[in-house]
Amino acid sequence: MPMKLLKTETEKELVVKRILHTKNYSLTLDKTLCTGCEICKEICPKEAIEIKTFPKVAGEKLKHPIIDVDEQKCHFCGICSSLCPFGALKVRVDGEHVIPVVKTESFPELIREIDVDTAKCDVQCVECEKACPLELIKVSVRTPDGKEIMDTESIQDKEKLTVIVDVKKELCPCCRVCELKCPYDAIHVKKIFHGTIRINQEKCPSGCQDCLDVCPITGALYLSEDGKVYVNELYCIYCGVCKIVCPEEGALELQRTYIRHTPVHSGAWNKALEKLTSTKELTKELQTKGLTKVRESVGKRLGFGGS
């Protein structure tokens, strides 16, 4: 039994704590990063997470939902932290950031693959920084001695300058906006979540832009000249926040089909994957794992070391 359960909340942060005789656990939600998407709620095994939506105020953009955590139900397993595409949730054990289910290898982590070839970058280009909808990219230019400079136009020998593109990868949902906006083909991003999203215009309420208001990725949803909202799946990260706020059932359909994650063999993960995608997609992943095991086994027998 816990010695103490605590819950504190400010405008920017929600913290729940479980204080035991031997260990202290905490789960922190950074509200400035959270978009109120449905992923953490869907995979929480204890149903400790709820989503709160806001009523529409005339003349204003709809506020994105927020999540709430029940300190009585939370077991601080870290499943929500391991799969949050925005890095908004963090579990700490005795003050140290750790994800218990990842540490025990019963749950995977998301693969955030963002590669930047700064050799291709122009020293005056900051397009990726400007394009990032979550402001996770910072471009800087440095001299050979490491000094950061702001005015590159006055530098004659620009070949000696080094471009630094700093990406906060742990917070990046891999929307690919930076890649597609880069004029020099210097950035390559692989999506974490794959899927399909469809807006049924016949069911979409006239003049409604709720999904557009809450979408965290600029350009994933857009307002067309006909006054209706459409989808650009090149940018969509399939977080599901648009589906949560949609006022008309069946007007917006979202289905995840694949999640890029670190290798794991776990029944708990299989259940979570089925919730996030579908039974069909879970079956595909299990079949792929089975084929991989067969190849590794055959490789070892033939002396190829499983490769």
Asked if residue 235 belongs to a domain, the reply is yes
Task: Supply the pLDDT for residue 303.
Answer: 64
Distance CA 294, CA 266 (A): 18
pLDDT at position 307 is 44
52 and 98 both lie in a single domain: yes
Smallest CA-to-CA distance from 35 within 113, 88, 82, 109 is with: 88
- Count of the separate structural domains present in the chain: 4
**CA atoms within 13 A of residue 28's CA, in its CB half-sphere:** 16
Domain that holds residue 300: 279-307
Asked if residue 126 and residue 183 are part of one domain, the reply reads: yes
Backbone φ and ψ of 130, nearest 5°: -70, -35
Return the pLDDT at 294. Answer: 43
Residue 270 lies in a domain: no
Last residue in a domain, options 39, 68, 103 = 103
Q: Rg (Cα) of the chain, in Å, rounded?
A: 22
> How many residues are recorded in the chain?
307
Does residue 226 sit within a domain?
A: yes
- Is the separation of the CB atoms in 63 and 245 below 8 Å? no
Domain boundary among 59, 79, 103: 103
As a dihedral over the C-alpha atoms of residue 19, residue 75, residue 243, residue 212, rounded to 10 degrees, the angle is: 30
81 assigned to some structural domain: yes
- Cα separation, 122 vs 125, in Å, equals 5
Backbone angles phi, psi at 105, to 5 degrees: 60, 30
Q: What was the pLDDT predicted at 196?
A: 96
My answer on whether 185 and 197 are in the same domain is no
Q: Is position 19 within any domain?
A: yes
- Do residues 86 and 10 share a domain? yes
pTM as predicted: 0.88
Q: Which CATH number do you get for residue 161? A: 3.30.70.20
Same domain, 19 and 81: yes
Q: How far apart are CA 276 and CA 281, in angstroms?
A: 10
Asked if residue 181 and residue 90 are part of one domain, the reply reads no
Shared-domain flag, residues 226 and 299? no
Whether 99 is covered by a domain: the verdict is: yes
Longest dimension (CA), the chain: 69
Which pLDDT value is given to residue 222?
Answer: 96
Both 151 and 221 in a single domain? Answer: no
Please tell me the predicted confidence (pLDDT) of residue 49: 97
- Which parts of the chain have pLDDT scores under 50? 294, 298, 306-307
